[in-house]
Amino acid sequence: MKKVLWVNPSFLDYRIPLYDELNKLYQNNFHLIYSKQRVPQRCIDKIESVLKGNALGLLTEKNVSIGKKDGFANSGISLPFPKGLYRLIKSVKADIVIAEGFFQFTPWALAYAIFNRKPILIAYERTAHTERNCPAWRRMYRKFVNLFVDGYVVNGILTKQYLVSQGVSENVIFTGAMCADSLHLAEKVKMIKPEERLFFKRELHIEKKEIIYLYVGRLITLKGVAYLLDAWKEHILSHPNDHLLIVGEGPLFDDFVQGYGFMNSISFVGNIDYSRISEYYAVADVFVIPTLEDNWSLVVPEAMACGLPIACSVYNGCHPELVHEGKNGVLFDTLNKTSLLYALSYFHSVDLELFGKESMKIEQKYNPQNTARNIFKAIETVAEK
């Protein structure tokens, strides 16, 4: 059995089920290298429990940030100085390597693959929209790296299209490589009894609302929440019994509370522990994401696994795979208020339960087990060349 190494400096809870499934497929021959300075301790505890000694955390790392960092892609750059990284990569003696993106820890993984004549794949997420402001030097660097790369595992069709536009052969691009921690969340939602949902709704004072819309994410400019709130002021005039739950924190939290906190139809929940997010999915009727820029937003498959219809921005790279208009949701242009208002009102004329079931059906294709199989197939295809 081949020994596979994934070099990923930073990850969150959603990646752990995927790595667990890959380790099963490779019969405990799957290894992970990450930065202990970037990964939250809760995730370190989880990945060490799942992969045991195959999870190797780099202890010492320095980063120098240059330029503006506002959340948008290519607004700044972080230069890593990971002490001992190459030595750690070499110690695994992997037969094949997967590196996360073109930069960060990838140059060290690429050096190992070149010097030891091992195949290397890059896990990549960006789209033409997220890379619309990509400087020429980044594009040139990526084209240079591509000369040594054997394949790419990507989230969806928009990422594949972008890589092809940059000169990558479509024959070495494998889609279906992104998933959320959907099974875990779906199971938790199923365990919440109807009386518990009603109790939680009463706590939030939303038990008598008609349609409850849910947003989960950071409150930053990039996520487009300001446009959602502005449109909500008009939506609530036509649908006065609807409610909007905003879960998350960020630099815009205080401004939003000050500007919209007086409205009884909006609840600013703030930050909650990840273990409680299932409660909010359980009481919501529709999930809405007004992002201005996202590669493949993971909250969308999370919400779908929990049985929610989706109102999704066209600037979210996951929409071709996950949001099927007229079946499980609707797309809108965040920058066009008419489009946003239509999307919000749309759910008053559809069967929410039927849409929710379709969301669950669509999401199954992108759960950790199926995603791991997609990546396994990509690795085996590249290794046979």
Burial of 52 (0-12, 13-18, 19+ CB in 10 A): exposed
Please state the rounded mean pLDDT for residues 350-357. Answer: 97
β-sheet bridge partners, residue 270: 247
| pLDDT of residue 7 exceeding 80 | yes
Candidates 59, 103, 61; CA nearest to 82 is 61
Residues 297, 291: contact at Cβ < 8 Å? yes
Q: What is the pLDDT of residues 14-39, one digit of tens each?
A: 899 999 999 999 999 999 999 999 99
Average pLDDT for 277-293: 96
Contact 177, 124 (CB under 8 A): no
Q: What is the pLDDT of residue 184?
A: 84
Q: Is the pLDDT of residue 67 over 70?
A: no
**Mean pLDDT, rounded, of the chain:** 94
How buried is residue 296: exposed, middle or buried, by Cβ count under 10 Å (0-12/13-18/19+)? Answer: buried
pTM of structure: 0.91
Average pLDDT over residues 183-194: 90
| pLDDT for res 104 | 92
Q: Is the pLDDT of residue 138 over 70?
A: yes
Average pLDDT over residues 246-260: 96
Q: What is the mean pLDDT of residues 349-360?
A: 97
Please name every residue paired with 298 in a beta bridge, in sequence order, or none if there are none. none
Rounded CA-CA distance 225/145 in Å is 36
Residue 70's pLDDT is 61
Nearest to 54 by CA among 19, 86, 85, 79: 19
Torsion of CA 12, 18, 19, 24, to 10 degrees: 160
pLDDT tens profile 192-216: 999 999 999 999 999 989 999 999 9
Instruction: With cut-offs at 50, 70 and 90, classify the pLDDT of residue 64.
Output: confident
Model confidence pLDDT, tens digit, residues 319-350:
999 999 999 999 999 999 999 999 999 999 99
Residue 7 phi/psi, 5-degree rounding, is: -105, 105
Per-residue pLDDT for 78 more than 80? no
